[in-house]
Structure 1
Amino acid sequence: MDMDDLPPRPDDALAMLRRQDLDPLSVAELDARVAALEAEIARVHAHRERAVNHRASADALFRR
């Protein structure tokens, strides 16, 4: 079974984030949350790019 086929764990950070009630947050708190999430998205994109480049380097090495 592939890990992607498994249902998300109930304590999954993303699932908890999605379930959080945003109503009690102020505009400033919402802005801070958006900034933090955008920074996390940038971090994930950078990590993904490094993983893709690493994979391409490994593939190129073993094709020789």
Structure 2
Amino acid sequence: MDDDENLPHNANDPLVLLVKQDLDPLSVDELDQRIAALKTEISRCEAKRNFAVSHRASADNLFKR
């Protein structure tokens, strides 16, 4: 499976740009900071997804016949 397969198709998408960045020039400390920032972003995305799922379930329940 190609890693690019799961990326958005827009070349200017921030995720595409992030994944294509060269990590070679980064120090261990910079890599640790990057990992921490990405973990924080993952948590933020998961919280938003969980809210959306819950909100959708509530709306489905409200309009259920």
Question: TM-score interval w.r.t. the shorter chain?
Answer: 0.7 to 0.9
| Matched ranges for 1:1-64 at <5 A | 8-64=9-65
- Unaligned stretches of 5+ residues in structure 1: 1-6
TM-score calculated relative to the size of structure 1: 0.86
Runs of 4+ in 1 over 6 A off after TM superposition: none
Give me the whole-angstrom Cα distance separating, in 2, the residues matched to 1:36 and 1:8.
Answer: 24
Give me the whole-angstrom Cα distance separating, in 2, the residues matched to 1:19 and 1:50.
Answer: 30
Root-mean-square deviation (Å): 1.0
- Unaligned stretches of 5+ residues in structure 2: 1-7
How many residue pairs were aligned? Answer: 58
More helix by share: 1
